[in-house]
A = this chain, B = another copy of it.
Amino acid sequence: MATVAFIGLGVMGYPMAGHLKTKGGHDVRVYNRTAEKAKKWAEEFGGTACDTPAEAATGADFVFTCVGNDDDLRAVTLGPDGVLHGMKQGAILIDNTTASAEVARELAGACTEKGCGFLDAPVSGGQAGAENGALTVMVGGDEATFEKARPVIDAYARMVGLMGPTGSGQLTKMINQVCIAGLVQGLAEGIHFGKKAGLDIEKVIDVISKGAAGSWQMENRYKTMNAGKYDYGFAVDWMRKDLDIVLNEAKRNGATLPVTALVDQFYADVQAMGGKRWDTSSLLARLEK
């Protein structure tokens, strides 16, 4: 069993850190911007709540970060109280934030300088996946570092894949979000059209979901969409953050993403409708407004 630090106890990080303690059996030291949450976590799971990221990272073999965006990530790693000031030589920093490939490369460089390892390791599977310890983890980094970290990551994962060198985990997560953007808009247009045509949407989905139009989103979201409920799953604000990362990376690598860019604008409409915290399937609400 190892000593593990976990920075960022949000809806994802809180249960992920829990699995590292209960399933992994590790000694877990946590830090959270809102200190009460770290205290609550420590009471619930029996770990140590720390006052700074650096303090949490002190003595840890593995340091996990799961925060909001690139800037938050830089603050808790490279900042004055960041984990890099506490990490010992040979420790591995595993970043679960959905962030840019750029910041991943930046952190990998900073870790190398300190004699530490780095893996970018964004996750998918949502809050439910985090709570059930069944996340998909997309990892970028070198194989030796990956092999050392994998058994620890397993505590909260259903699938862990090494996708390539540093940044490849983030790039894989970006592809995931690109595929979802077009897919959810297509599904929203289909349901919208079906309602306008006066069809029984349940019946329609029952018939078409087994064929070439079928998708995870169709199976898992059509009922709430049809009922106009958008309070389940990943929020529009977070999707726009991810799509911003995607569209910036596309500028760098020269990819053309017309529908992804358009759907990002549609999500801006949803935000303007008051839907910042609605889930991503609220593209339907925009068509119905």
Chain A residues packing against B (C-beta within 8 Å): 101, 124-126, 136, 138, 159, 161, 163-164, 168, 171-172, 174-187, 189-194, 196-200, 203-204, 206-208, 210-218, 220, 246, 249-250, 253-260, 262-263, 266, 287
Contacts and interface: CB of A to CB of B under 8 A. Distances in A.
Nearest to A197: B171
- Per assembly, the copies of the chain total 2
A283 to B, nearest CB: 9
Contact of A172 (B175, B185, B208, B220): B208
Given A183-B183, A262-B259, A193 B211 contact: no
Nearest to A178: B190
A154 B175 CA distance: 40
A193 B136 contact: no
Contacts of A257: 189, 192-193
Contacts of A196: 250, 253-255
Contact of A215 (B177, B194, B216): B216
A180 B262 contact: no
A134 B212 CA distance: 13
B138 A207 contact: yes
A249 B197 CA distance: 9
Nearest to A256: B287
B197 A163 contact: no
A56 B250 CA distance: 57
B246 A193 contact: yes
Contacts of A126: 212
Contact of A208 (B176, B203, B210, B255): B176
